[in-house]
Amino acid sequence: MKNTIQQTLLNSFSYSEYRKKVTELIAEGKSTGHEQSNDLFHYSELNEARMNRLEKTIAIVDEVKAKLENLDKKYIWLVLAEGWCGDAAQIVPVIHKMADVTDKVELKIALRDDNDALMQHFLTNGGKAIPKLIVLDAETLEVVLDWGPRPHGAKQLILEYKAAHGVVDEAAKIELQKWYLHDKGISIQNEIVEMHEQILS
């Protein structure tokens, strides 16, 4: 898998490059990914507004910041995402802010559809669910842990909605966005640093 990881890293973006890529495609009436549709374009536009807002409002908790600054070594956080993905729009800005508070983490973002070989190693229940955070030892590129596509509370909300209604429809997506809004990125921060702590213990 190391070759696949190296290839994906060569094919990846910094956070600002990722944002720029998504914005440029929107200006052309397109979304990221190998499939194009009006819906995906519409979601991309919505998500751009969400990410702009989150960049201004998300704050990294002091305790989380301290834990990130005290990481034992340098890591690469490689995230598989797409501009049309609602969960990615809520999660990637938080991961960016987390990586920004420490020199121990370098964030790289790769488009899922352009990096299918890596995505195949990190399926969720057989599906290509994103965003997927893959934490790599910066020196060896060994996979240390992975996280995603959603924090636990958001995952539970969708499971319970599907159990009650049989589908994940537009109403479910609205409930999910409300959950993210209320949570303010706290669950994402806590879950990721807790996983880092587990590998160190």
Whichever domain contains 102, its CATH number is 3.40.30.10
What is the pairing mode between strands 105-111 and 132-137? unpaired
Checking if the pLDDT of 201 tops 90, the result is: no
Residue written as token pair 């995906």:
40
Cα distances from 60 to residues 15, 98, 134, in angstroms, run 17, 6, 20
Q: What local confidence, expressed as pLDDT, does residue 197 receive?
A: 85
Checking if the pLDDT of 183 tops 80, the result is: yes
Structure tokens at 192: 């990721």
Assess contact for 100 and 55: CB atoms under 8 A. Answer: no
Residue written as token pair 């374009």:
41
Cβ burial of 186 (10 Å; 0-12, 13-18, 19+) is middle
Distance separating alpha carbons of residues 35 and 186, to the nearest angstrom: 32
Checking if the pLDDT of 200 tops 70, the result is: no
Number of domains in the chain: 1
Tell me the pLDDT tens digit for each residue of 20-68. Answer: 999 999 999 999 999 999 999 999 999 999 999 999 999 999 999 999 9
Distance separating alpha carbons of residues 105 and 113, to the nearest angstrom: 24
pTM of the model: 0.96
The residue segments making up the domain with residue 134 are 2-200
